Structure 1
């Protein structure tokens, strides 16, 4: 299934895509797409629905984040071999973890706003993993059973805030609008192998990132197993699993950063695409 949320910010309705990529309204079936309805039983009930019997949504409404009321927004850093190489940093022994503030979350095609003082804002296309049931001390072999589905995330990052304001990476990751999520939550049955997905990002039509999840240092299963040994993962938690090479700060001979008027386009196999324009905060 491809589940989504559509409508104005804060007033999104649940929907699903039919076989012809048309939005069907789910609001007569469920209140919203949140962690509370991402368990296997609830998803099975939705899977049994015939999308053609659901109301068709007219027009082209705004698409919101594909999961509402996201719990923890967990992010993994330096998780692609080529990205670690372009940054000149060593391969980590364990997954590097940082948090992204939930107030950064926006829809997949909403506007990204650069904060005051930003001169080094960067892009990062990432595979997002949404947890479907409580996970604590799970093994690598069983870890994917705890996944509700997958989505695209853009881990927009202000590199000066991230590295030079003292403290943790979270400072450069959590600015308002720095967490586009969606457009769809694609349930795990549609993605049998999350380590075989191509992902890409273009800025102003020029491809900057073009990678594959097969180059992850830590697989999705390894990440879930590791994190669940540190904390309980709850339904609706979102994990951004790292980005491949091609980020702005890694460009040679000089870094390239986002500026007002830029447009980003992100794609991951089977998960759709995002399109964001960039502006500056007043």
Structure 2
């Protein structure tokens, strides 16, 4: 099942997404998809993000693949929903998309063994974790201006239940800018897979329902410019659409 969160008729509402795209509210009503504001599909608690978790991406940035996970945290201000806009400041030279599988924790715990990791997953969604590389001070530990800007991480459109994605480590990823394919990859190429990451993180801290793990992006980066429509798509999960805006359009709306 696909689970969404939307703002419609003055309220934030959970909805399910039917096979034909109909948004169905808990009371049975259908909400017109063209009239709603899409929000991040879950209320995010702690957001973990992986750097250089694909060897091919590390190589295109001229870095050696990491031997331990490179993890940083993201604030709630960074997340926006499907069909929202992300701001590119005037004057920057390099702003890249990053198509990522996002893992939503459904059952918390500490000391989770990898063989039980999927029991703690609620489902999966798509994230696009933009990076302005002009601001990067350390490739291994992205600073706040790179990864914690308002509205820099669209996520959605919905969360797909865990059991509807039989093997999250064998999914195709694709990014398109204005309809042109600019990135292709597969989650099979992750250096640290989903069970490893859950075991690793829960070894030293308690994971909670609503935590989200952004698992990194494969190679294939290209520039984004104001006016670009960016689609990040993951097989069996969904297609997340986002638009780039410049300074004249102001800053993006952040997550509710």
Question: Which has the greater radius of gyration?
Answer: 1
- Taking structure 1 as reference, are residues 247 and 230 closer, same or farther at Cα in structure 2, changes over 3 Å only? farther
CA 9–142 in structure 1, closer or farther in 2 if over 3 Å, else same: farther
State how far apart, in whole Å, the 1-side matches of 2:134 and 2:204 are. Answer: 29
Give CA-to-partner distance per residue, 1:160-206, whole Å, 9 cap, x none.
Answer: 222379x7434301111111010010010101111011011012222
Matched, 1:244 2:218: yes
May I ask how many residue pairs the two structures share in their alignment? Answer: 247
Corresponding residue of 2:241: 275
Determine the C-alpha separation between the residues in 1 that align with 2:144 and 2:106: 25
**CA deviation after TM superposition for structure 1 residue 79, in Å:** 0.7
Equivalent residue for 1:228? 202
- Secondary structure, aligned partner of 1:232: coil
User: Equivalent of 1:265, from 231, 243, 250?
Assistant: 231
Cα 1:140–1:4 change in 2 (3 A) is same
Q: What's the C-alpha RMSD, in Å, of the aligned pairs?
A: 2.1
Contact persistence 1:8–1:64 (CA under 8 A): no
Question: In structure 2, what is the Cα distance between the partners aligned to 1:84 and 1:186?
Answer: 28
Change (3 A) 1:156 1:8: farther
Give the 3 Å change call, closer, same or farther, for CA 92–116 of structure 1 in structure 2.
same
* Residue 207 in structure 1 maps to residue 181 in structure 2: yes
Change (3 A) 1:73 1:20: same
1:112 is matched with: 86
Residues 1:75 and 2:49 are matched in the alignment: yes
Deviations 1:189-244 (A, max 9, x none): 10111101101101222211100000011101101110111211110011100001
Aligned to 2:165: 191
Give the Cα separation in 1 of the matches to 2:75 and 2:247: 18
CA contact (8 A) 2:88 2:245 kept: yes
- Unaligned segments of structure 2, at least 5 residues: 249-256
CA gap of 1:73–1:10, structure 2 versus 1, over 3 A, is farther
Normalising by the residue count of structure 2, what TM-score does the alignment of the two structures yield? 0.90
Aligned to 1:140: 114
Q: Choose between structure 1 and 2: higher strand proportion.
A: 2
* Corresponding position of 1:13: 13
Distance 2:226 2:142 in 1: 26
Alignment correspondent of 2:251: none
Change (3 A) 1:275 1:234: same
